[in-house]
Amino acid sequence: AANAGTTRTPLVTAVFAECDVDGDGLLHQREMEAFARLSGFDGTESEWNQEYQLLCEERGIDPRAGVGPSLFRRLVDDPGECFCSDMDLQNILGQLRSRHRPNGRAESARAAAADRARGGDRSGRGGPGVDRDEDDDELRFAGAP
């Protein structure tokens, strides 16, 4: 049983890191939603928003701050919460990583993070965005006389 904890910790850490698209050490609402959906949550976006708000409220954390690694660990370890077996976590990790491959079916979370770093925002959290059409036009006509 002691060995199970040693192998589980890096697994939980790896899942957290794959979900943490912006690399800030916290899982914000959309980052947690990706995990929740892979672990079985199948509600609407509105239901997820309510669930996330409740999760934060019950734990006294600011929903805008996000879920830290220790709370994430408690959630996936607690049968009364979002418990995931090691096999569940391995499957979730594989799905998250496949999204990050260039040929993955889903949009790469890292590509979204890179897009935000360039000024765009696909996270749904607001912030400065870039009008892609306008930028494309500027690039397209940049070499014109």
pLDDT tens digits for 29-61? 999 999 999 999 999 999 999 999 999 999 999
Q: How far apart are CA 76 and CA 55, in angstroms?
A: 13
Q: What are 27's strand-pairing partners? A: 67
Residue 144's pLDDT is what? 40
What is the C-alpha separation between 80 and 10, in angstroms, rounded?
22
Interval 90-141: pLDDT, tens:
999 999 999 866 554 444 444 444 444 444 444 444 433 333 333 333 333 3
CA 73/CA 82 separation, integer angstroms: 10
Using only C-alpha atoms, the chain has a radius of gyration, in whole angstroms, of 18
